[in-house]
Homo-oligomer: A and B are copies of this chain.
């Protein structure tokens, strides 16, 4: 099973098909999008589209792999070499939030939404690529806790809390809302990984504590929507 699910270097055209299909599937859902519609959006007939892909499920699989490639390129690869585990998590959260909000790659949103659509081998393959991200986060949480940089926390719970905060954003973020994506990223980073100010306890340096700089903390929000 190759990364793209089909013979590689068929070139730009194939990538364009994936991106067009991703746009539609992201809007209408996988089951809610017909091959007819996808073909039309690619300015082809359905039979023409089937010249490039094997079937609908393999198309989704290819889109998801493409999305994982984009994620690894735009998030993982940019933060995995940061030595300090907390800084690594901070940067990772920032990049991941912006990847979701900027909406350049609908493929990533499809990975998030259609988490149970694929079955069998294809499902297992994508789940495995996702799992590598979870492992990466668990490792970072584990290190951070061990070094006393954050409060002790089960790494799995830390990782999935991180992911929930970050990835749930796709369900409610509106680009024209009250909060910009930068503000959301800053706010969430500051919430989960607050800068260290307080003194040490028990011989360790200060751990996940308060800071005194006042930030906006009033008024109930608008511009965003439903949970």
Query: Residues on A close to B: CB < 8 A?
Result: 29-32, 113, 115-117, 126-127, 130-131, 133-135, 138-139, 142, 145-146, 151-161, 163-169, 171-172, 178-179, 183-184, 187-188, 190-192, 194, 198, 201-202, 206-212, 214-221, 224-227
Contacts and interface: CB of A to CB of B under 8 A. Distances in A.
20 contacts: A29-B117, A31-B32, A113-B113, A115-B226, A134-B226, A142-B220, A146-B217, A151-B190, A151-B191, A154-B187, A155-B217, A155-B218, A156-B224, A157-B183, A157-B187, A161-B191, A198-B201, A198-B210, A201-B210, A209-B210
Nearest to A133: B227
A32 B160 CA distance: 28
A168 B170 CA distance: 11
Q: Which 9 A-B pairs have the closest CB atoms?
A: A164-B168, A156-B221, A31-B31, A157-B187, A130-B226, A207-B210, A164-B164, A145-B217, A164-B165
A35 to B, nearest CB: 14
B139 A220 contact: yes
Contact of A209 (B113, B153, B198): B198
A22 to B, nearest CB: 16
A182 to B, nearest CB: 12
Nearest to A114: B29
A33 B161 CA distance: 31
Contacts of A142: 217-220
